[in-house]
A = this chain, B = another copy of it.
Amino acid sequence: MSVERTLHHFPLDPASRQVRLVLGEKRLPFTDVQVRYWERPKELTALNPSGLTPVLVETRGEAQLVLCESRAILDHLEESAPEPALLGREPAERAEARRLLQWFDRKFEFEAGGYILHEKMEKRLLGLGAPELANLRQGREGLKNHLFYIDKLLQDREWLAGKRLSLADFAAAAHLSVIDYFGDVPWADFPAVKTWYMKLKSRPCFRPLLLDRWPGLTPAKQYDDLDF
């Protein structure tokens, strides 16, 4: 039976972007429902009690499967649509990809992304006034440390978790891409990271993200430029 997919997401949410990239990479078409999660819409809370995006709803005839939270969705897609494999086949590859998923979703978000997106995005969406410069500085410092780390990983790997493109690359790219929307990634200082990101940015799965525009939030000039 054919599956119909609906993704409830916010275009500039890094967790939502991971799922959009993976759906795209696996060539799984989906209907797109954009959610203003910060307004706590009832439809979203009814699907996901945490009130967070992304939520993927899969419909097979009368049966509906509701998948909440990015990691649960990514794991499910890997199990139900295993090609192309994005988690590796060997235990060591899978362990490394999963280590990095946690790295980006917790450590990167806590030390870098969280600060920058709160100041530049959430405050705008919530009408909380101008960015706090000290927080922005802290986030940019954290970001630099993480770019150094990505650079170090890429010194002896083609992709972040090893020889193969994996969920780790999509997680990192999703987080970086939102910061890049606001023009805050110092690409010029990290040429190896830039080359890696250009490869990802040129993939068809990335295109919809480059077309994202949110009212009142103008993207940086090079955001959708493949040759930035």
* A162 → chain B closest CB, angstroms: 14
Q: Is the CB of B79 within 8 A of A98?
A: no
Q: Is the CB of B149 within 8 A of A71?
A: no
Q: Is the CB of A76 within 8 A of B94?
A: yes
User: For residues 51 through 92 of chain A, which have their beta carbon under 8 Å from a beta carbon of chain B?
Assistant: 65-69, 71-72, 75-76, 79-80, 91-92
Which B residues are in CB contact (< 8 Å) with A91?
A: 65, 76, 79-80
Q: Is the CB of B71 within 8 A of A95?
A: no
Which B residues are in CB contact (< 8 Å) with A71?
A: 71, 98, 101-102
| A99 on interface, CB distance cutoff 8 Å | yes
Q: Is the CB of A49 within 8 A of B98?
A: no
| A197 on interface, CB distance cutoff 8 Å | no
Q: Which residue of B lies closest to A48 (CB)?
A: B99
Point out the residue from B72, B80, B92, B107 that lies within 8 Å of A99, measured CB to CB.
Answer: B72
Please judge, given known A-B contacts A49-B149, A50-B103, A107-B50, whether A98 and B69 are in contact too, CB under 8 Å: yes
Q: Which residue of B lies closest to A68 (CB)?
A: B99
Which B residues are in CB contact (< 8 Å) with A66?
A: 95
Bitwise interface map of A from 97 to 116 toward B, beta carbon under 8 Å scored 1, else 0:
01101110001000000000
Please judge, given known A-B contacts A49-B149, A107-B50, whether A67 and B80 are in contact too, CB under 8 Å: no
Bitwise interface map of A from 193 to 219 toward B, beta carbon under 8 Å scored 1, else 0:
000000000000000000000000000
Bitwise interface map of A from 126 to 155 toward B, beta carbon under 8 Å scored 1, else 0:
000000000000000000000001000000
Nearest 8 CB-CB pairings of A with B: A72-B98, A69-B102, A68-B99, A67-B95, A72-B99, A69-B99, A72-B95, A50-B107
